């Protein structure tokens, strides 16, 4: 019997207890201080008491090497099978232009292509996806730039696109800054909208200082009216907050605002927190950015101080939230990068990309769907094959089945190769998560 290479063992934050999790065996346990010490001693070379050893074997924390190798292969095949049947998210970018000048935009260095979206390009897009993804479950997400620009021409094109989505029986999501949502409610009501992602970075001025119109101008009030209009029309809103050290202290106030508006009571409302980070290029004030773990440490403190914040947003802390809500672990995550597997992106110039991180980035196009269909098979294969089994750094990492190797685009930006790691601080997140959700 060996100590499983997939055990994640550590002390729970602000507690004397420990946790041990194994995504391969599907076990998760809290150890009291004595048990935690015994396991620490064992890892230091000492023997385990027999009854404790039996418990660890029963839970799969101590396992026969051959059994573990077999289980790993079985679970990997299950993962591939499940993913092959999973829904594909197809992004379409009608334009990279935007009416906002957000302080942290990662697309601000994209060069503008002097070409406009036409109905011919939209026709070609639907022809391509209906052929290429025939027989697969799929849905569309309209992305940008800002897709819901308030001009007659843009409204005409979005209406045309939604008509074709309806004809293909596809649900549609939008990622929008929300400024012109009200002006699009009638058009959106004609489609099968799964959800609209809108971003508010805080209440009032906190938001307006970060997400303002090009040339200046507040946007908060109009976006709030747009969210209200969506919820009134039973159009689901996924509210995103992009967070860094400049606006983190405004989160409780935004949560209180959402609660008082009645948004958090709505079945059509949910939230997500996004970390402001450097995706493609450095930001001028990088000292204001959180690392992954420091953001969650700060959220942990905010929730201790403002427990109502959980009504607005409940942090995942890796698999901690899933475990607390389901009394079960998620399946092992052999790959957290959906690019060219369950996600593809397309833009108005007819180019094909792997995902939202790469769409529009020079050098990242994988082919075209317009004016003719082309595919760069070598590049596509690299993205399709990326998972923890082909990333050398993942092979001996005990966190691999919770981390999944992270984002391929971030990894490629760092090393030039997508099949490298973008590590997630899984152990540290679990230390916080077990404290937040399992310790009273």
Partner 1 sequence: MKCLVKKQNEKEPIKKVAQCCAKTSKTIVGCHD
Sole binder of partner 1 in the list 11, 15, 26, 110 (CB under 8 A): 26
Question: Nearest CA to 28 among 19, 38, 40?
Answer: 19
The answer to the question of residue 331 lying near partner 1 (CB under 8 A) is: yes
Q: Considering the complex, state which of residue 127 and residue 324 has its C-beta at the smaller distance from partner 1.
A: 324
Q: Considering the complex, state which of residue 12 and residue 224 has its C-beta at the smaller distance from partner 1.
A: 12
Q: How far is the CB of 374 from partner 1 (least distance, A)?
A: 26
Sole binder of partner 1 in the list 158, 357, 419, 436 (CB under 8 A): 357
Count residues contacting partner 1 (CB under 8 A)? Answer: 55
Burial of 217-248, coded b for 16+ CB within 10 Å and e otherwise, reads: eebbebbbebbbbbbeeebbbbbbbbbbebbb
| CB-CB contact of 108 with 171 (8 Å) | no
Q: Which residues contact 18 (CB under 8 A, 6 or more apart)?
A: 9, 10, 11, 12, 30, 31, 32, 33, 35, 36, 39
Q: Which residues contact 426 (CB under 8 A, 6 or more apart)?
A: 8, 318, 399, 402, 403
The answer to the question of residue 156 lying near partner 1 (CB under 8 A) is: no
CA 303 to chain centre: 21
The answer to the question of residue 197 lying near partner 1 (CB under 8 A) is: yes
Sole binder of partner 1 in the list 140, 302, 337, 366 (CB under 8 A): 337
CA distance 312 to 269: 10
Q: How far is the CB of 246 from partner 1 (least distance, A)?
A: 17
Q: How far is the CB of 261 from partner 1 (least distance, A)?
A: 20
The answer to the question of residue 333 lying near partner 1 (CB under 8 A) is: yes
| Region from 121-129, 226-234, 311-319, 370-378 binding partner 1, contact rule CB under 8 A | 311-319
Pairing of strands 237-243, 269-275: parallel
The answer to the question of residue 27 lying near partner 1 (CB under 8 A) is: yes
Q: Considering the complex, state which of residue 55 and residue 97 has its C-beta at the smaller distance from partner 1.
A: 55
Sole binder of partner 1 in the list 15, 222, 438, 439 (CB under 8 A): 438
For the purposes of burial, counting CB atoms within 10 Å of the CB of 379, is it exposed (0-12), middle (13-18) or buried (19 or more)?
middle
Q: Considering the complex, state which of residue 157 and residue 410 has its C-beta at the smaller distance from partner 1.
A: 410
Q: How far is the CB of 114 from partner 1 (least distance, A)?
A: 26
At 331, give phi and psi (nearest 5°): -60, 155
Question: Nearest CA to 203 among 146, 260, 147, 150?
Answer: 260
Q: How far is the CB of 208 from partner 1 (least distance, A)?
A: 22
The answer to the question of residue 59 lying near partner 1 (CB under 8 A) is: yes
Per-residue binding string, partner 1, 395-414, x by CB under 8 A, is -------x-x--x-xx----
The answer to the question of residue 170 lying near partner 1 (CB under 8 A) is: no
At 97, give phi and psi (nearest 5°): -70, 160
The answer to the question of residue 266 lying near partner 1 (CB under 8 A) is: no
CA 346 to chain centre: 19
| CB-CB contact of 369 with 350 (8 Å) | yes
Sole binder of partner 1 in the list 103, 124, 318, 435 (CB under 8 A): 318
Q: Considering the complex, state which of residue 197 and residue 219 has its C-beta at the smaller distance from partner 1.
A: 197
Question: Nearest CA to 426 among 400, 395, 394?
Answer: 400
The answer to the question of residue 316 lying near partner 1 (CB under 8 A) is: yes
Strands of 200-319, DSSP E: 237-243, 269-275
Sole binder of partner 1 in the list 50, 267, 327, 378 (CB under 8 A): 327
The answer to the question of residue 175 lying near partner 1 (CB under 8 A) is: yes
Sole binder of partner 1 in the list 292, 297, 311, 393 (CB under 8 A): 292
CA distance 261 to 257: 6
Q: Considering the complex, state which of residue 124 and residue 366 has its C-beta at the smaller distance from partner 1.
A: 366
Q: How far is the CB of 382 from partner 1 (least distance, A)?
A: 17
In total, the chain counts a number of residues equal to 440
Alpha helices in 274-362 (DSSP H): 292-305, 309-312, 320-326
The answer to the question of residue 4 lying near partner 1 (CB under 8 A) is: no
What is the radius of gyration, based on Cα positions, of the chain?
A: 23
The answer to the question of residue 231 lying near partner 1 (CB under 8 A) is: no
| Region from 7-15, 68-76, 108-116, 325-333 binding partner 1, contact rule CB under 8 A | 325-333
CA distance 294 to 298: 6
Contact residues: partner 1, CB under 8 A: 26-31, 35, 52, 55, 59, 82, 87, 89, 141, 143, 173, 175, 195, 197, 238, 240, 270, 272, 274-275, 277, 279, 292, 316, 318-319, 322-323, 326-331, 333, 336-339, 342-343, 355-357, 402, 404, 407, 409-410, 438
């Amino acid at each position: 019997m060996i100590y499983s290479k997939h055990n994640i063992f550590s002390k729970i934050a602000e507690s004397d207890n420990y946790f041990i999790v194994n995504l391969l065996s599907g076990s998760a346990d809290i150890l009291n201080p004595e048990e935690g010490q015994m396991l620490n001693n064992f890892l230091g070379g000492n023997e385990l008491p027999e009854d404790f050893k039996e418990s660890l074997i029963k839970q799969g924390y101590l396992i026969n090497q051959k059994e573990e190798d077999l289980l790993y292969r079985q679970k990997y095949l299950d993962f591939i099978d499940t993913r092959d049947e999973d829904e594909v998210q197809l992004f379409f970018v009608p334009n990279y232009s935007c009416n906002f000048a957000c302080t942290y935009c990662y697309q601000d260095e994209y060069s503008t292509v002097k070409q406009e979206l036409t109905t011919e390009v939209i026709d070609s897009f639907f022809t391509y996806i209906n052929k290429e993804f025939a027989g697969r479950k799929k849905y569309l997400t309209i992305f940008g730039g800002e897709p819901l620009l308030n001009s007659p021409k843009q409204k005409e094109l979005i209406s045309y696109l939604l008509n074709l989505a309806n004809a293909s029986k596809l649900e549609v999501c939008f990622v929008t800054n929300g400024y012109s949502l009200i002006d699009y409610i009638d058009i959106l009501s004609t489609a099968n909208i799964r959800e609209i992602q809108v971003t508010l970075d805080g209440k009032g001025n906190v938001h307006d200082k970060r997400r303002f119109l090009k040339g200046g101008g507040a946007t908060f009030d109009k976006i709030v009216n747009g969210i209200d209009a969506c919820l009134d029309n039973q159009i689901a809103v996924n509210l995103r907050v992009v967070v860094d050290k400049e606006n983190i202290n405004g989160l409780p106030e935004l949560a209180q605002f959402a609660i008082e508006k009645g948004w958090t009571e709505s079945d059509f409302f949910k939230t997500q927190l996004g970390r402001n980070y450097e995706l493609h290029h450095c930001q001028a004030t990088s000292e204001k950015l959180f690392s992954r773990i420091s953001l969650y440490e700060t959220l942990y403190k905010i929730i201790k101080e403002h427990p109502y914040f959980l009504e607005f947003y409940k942090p995942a802390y890796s698999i901690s939230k899933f475990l607390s809500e389901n009394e079960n672990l998620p399946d092992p995550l052999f790959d957290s990068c959906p690019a060219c597997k369950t996600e593809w992106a397309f833009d108005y110039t007819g180019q094909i990309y792997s995902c939202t991180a790469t769409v529009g980035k020079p050098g990242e196009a994988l082919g075209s769907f317009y004016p003719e269909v082309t595919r760069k098979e070598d590049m596509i294969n690299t993205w399709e094959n990326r998972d923890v089994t082909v990333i050398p750094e993942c092979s001996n990492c005990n966190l691999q089945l919770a981390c999944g190797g992270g984002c391929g685009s971030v990894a490629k930006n760092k090393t030039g190769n997508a099949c490298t790691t973008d590590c997630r601080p899984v152990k540290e997140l679990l230390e916080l998560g077990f404290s937040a959700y399992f310790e009273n």
